[in-house]
Amino acid sequence: MENKETVLVTGGSGFIASYCMIALLNNGYKVKATLRSLKKSDLVKQMLKEGGISSFEDLSFAEADLQDESSWEKAVEGCQYVIHVASPTPHTDAVTEDDFVIPAKNGVLFVMKAAKKAGVKRVVLTSAFGAVGFGTVKTTPYTEEDWTVLNDTVFPYQKSKTISEQTAWDFIKNEGAGMELAVVNPTGVLGPVLADDFSHSIQNIKQMLNGDMKACPKIISGYVDVRDVADLHFKAMTLPQASGQRFIAVAGEGYSLLDTANVLRKSLGEKASKVPSRELPNWFIKLLAIFNPKLKAVAPYLGMVKRASSQKAIAMLGWKPRSTEEAILATANSLIKMNLIQ
């Protein structure tokens, strides 16, 4: 048996990270997952089991924190690749932009430095569409040539994603000689949940099925299935032509929240009885937002149309994403199966 290569996957308890780990283990790699606390390792195993992994002999864990530089050298020891998915969760008391940006930027820098020191061949960074398509308005789809323009319309989270991705490219250019970087920029991530911890886009579907969303705000964005996001990370790690490139992960044209609701109603019958069937006018939500903090977060996105193209990943890496409709239904069915719907 040849020696298996080891991949460090950061933020191992996260939604995208767990699917990256499933793809790696299924393809014969060893995985070392970082967690802020090793107490979470049982949860991770439970999630991987839910995702079809039955043997954990090629899985190990390391404790590391994006705020603590010294924890990374030990974590990355003996690894040939790093898939850096972890993004610091701003503490609930994050107020200023710096509370978002500085941890994100430092986190990337700590991981890149440790990877370089350990002789890692290639780092794959999970960035976000937030680093591509904000601060500007385009009628044509956004591509990898586009970068978010850091102006006052950009939220701290998207700023942190943009700045941390730029930090990674700068590091490779200035100090990364011999190490390669590839970046994946997912849009809204959907797909089968493995536990009750999941992305914001899935929260929307859960709210629809639960009847918490009575009508849909007018927001159009791109979506992608988490299994395809993991596959794109795998291709970005293993294919020579991916080095030095960024790849948008999106399944197709943008979908509005109402389009999403329509897919659920059309396919799930009785289970979708609480799913909304109409759109709310923008002015009405803006009015309600004055009194409702949850809607206040939504208000700036109203009427926003952000279309993105994944032509590059399809043409260059042979990536084949599932349709948005399939991703929506896989999400809904898994929420129902895991009893996460009231």
Candidates 65, 1, 69, 57; CA nearest to 31 is 57
Residue 220 β-bridge partners = 256, 305
Ramachandran angles phi, psi of 185, nearest 5°: -120, 85
Question: Burial level of 3, CB count in 10 A (0-12/13-18/19+)?
Answer: exposed
Q: Give how far Cα 121 sits from Cα of 76, 80, 142, 213, Å.
A: 12, 6, 30, 46
Tokens of 22: 């499933």
d(CA 222, CA 129) in angstroms, rounded, equals 9
Active site residue 161: yes
Q: Give how far Cα 223 sits from Cα of 107, 188, 249, 256, 325, Å.
A: 26, 4, 8, 10, 10
| Candidates 159, 161, 206, 306; catalytic one | 161
Angle subtended by helix axes 15-26 and 41-50, to nearest 10: 60
Tokens of 81: 């690749």
Candidates 95, 244, 109, 116; CA nearest to 164 is 109
In this structure, the chain runs to a length of: 342
Residue 223 β-bridge partners = 188
d(CA 221, CA 223) in angstroms, rounded, equals 7
Residues marked active site are found at 161
